Amino acid sequence: MRIIIFLAFCLAVYYIIKGYFKDQGLQRGRRPDPRHPPTITDELVQDPVCGVYFPKKDALSLIWKGKTYYFCSKECRQKFREQNLES
């Protein structure tokens, strides 16, 4: 009985690992298909004040003269406003 339980456990682990690698496109050593690249969930944007790159979903935005700017913090957004109001 222990052997049957052990074999069932090994089979379950095998299918879990096989499913994981199939999802990753790495099954049997194959490379991911270049015709179907992985989906990009978010893009990186650069803060115009401090130059930091960060995910667009986490950004604070400001529309200035018809262009959208993305900022990493309230402080950077405020500095941008102050610099552009002076000029």
Integer Rg of the chain from CA:
25
Low-confidence ranges of the chain (pLDDT < 50): 27
Q: For domain 44-86, which architecture applies?
A: Roll (2.30)
CA atoms within 13 A on the CB side of 86: 6
Query: 68: which DSSP letter?
Result: E
Q: Taking the model in full, what pTM does it have?
A: 0.52
**Cβ(45)–Cβ(70) below 8 Å:** yes
Domain with CATH 2.30.170 in the chain: 44-86
Do the Cβ atoms of 58 and 38 come closer than 8 Å?
no
